[in-house]
Amino acid sequence: MGFVPTMGFLHEGHLSLMRRAWIENDFVVTSIFVNPAQFGPNEDLAKYPRDVESDTSKCKEIGVTVLFMPDSSEIYGKNHQTYVAVENFQNYLCGSSRPGHFRGVATVVLKLFNIVKPTAAYFGSKDYQQLQVIRAMVKDLNVDTEVIACPTVREADGLAMSSRNSYLTVDERRQALCLHKALLAAQEMFSESEVNLQEYLNIMVNTINEAPSADIDYVKIVDPETLEDLDTIKDQALAILAVKIGKTRLIDNMLLGRNV
């Protein structure tokens, strides 16, 4: 059984996970659940995009065996008080600016795994930190599910697909390309020669700042396994960033290195 957990408002990135799951499994389950536990008090839970009719139609077209759409009371019963904290990974990057977010992610994913009991679960690499949190949770708690990482799916112009892209105005959508451009600039520097790490950060920050509406949350070069900041770049590193375009917070990442 292959499992694709989502928060709905499905796009080609989600659908690619379902297709991969079908190739590798006899049955495919998709869940749609906008998880309140991973939203902070000033975040976009109430306005998070939803389109159940369209999502259901897309799942039928893919041939999903079961579409699981619980409500909050089914997932978090009365007096719910048990949560999962992946101690190290939740403190870096998005964890710093979104306290409690990854506790909510790890908790709901474990609950969904326990309900669905999948052989394998499929996640996009755009949410790289989330992927590492789930991998650690599965390993540490001996969860009998294989976590499969799938490549980031991008629009033709390079923008990583995200449900939150629907928030962007036409002009903001154009400016949002600065995230991918910044990552490509870092990758090009790596392939050209050995460069001081600060120069990678500078070129990414400068590229993003060319977009008038951009507000940087973080731009980092980190170890792909631990997500800790690197002092030097050797064989491989992860360029990862979070940027607000207008009011919309977007994330992206790219592996840099000879093994990519």
Residue from 189, 249, 247, 192 nearest 221 by CA: 189
CB-count exposure of residue 191 (10 Å: 0-12, 13-18, 19+): exposed
Sorted by sequence, the CB contacts under 8 Å of residue 29 that are 6+ apart come out as: 1, 2, 3, 4, 64, 65, 66, 67, 68, 116, 118
**Reduced to 3 states, what is the DSSP secondary structure of residue 204?**
helix
* Active-site residue identified among 11, 14, 80, 180: 14
Residue from 116, 27, 11, 25 nearest 63 by CA: 27
Contact 207, 181 (CB under 8 A): yes
Query: In which region does residue 117 sit, left (phi positive, over 0), alpha (psi from -120 to 50) or beta (all else)?
Result: left
Q: Rounded to whole angstroms, how far apart are CA atoms 99 and 95?
A: 6
In the residue annotation, 14 being an active-site residue is answered as yes
Token look-up 């375009």 returns 245
- Residues 36-69: b if buried by 16+ CB within 10 A, e if exposed: ebbbeeeeeeeebeeeeeebbebbeebebbebbe
Q: Rounded to whole angstroms, how far apart are CA atoms 39 and 48?
A: 10
Q: Rounded to whole angstroms, how far apart are CA atoms 20 and 256?
A: 25
Q: Which residues are designated catalytic? A: 14
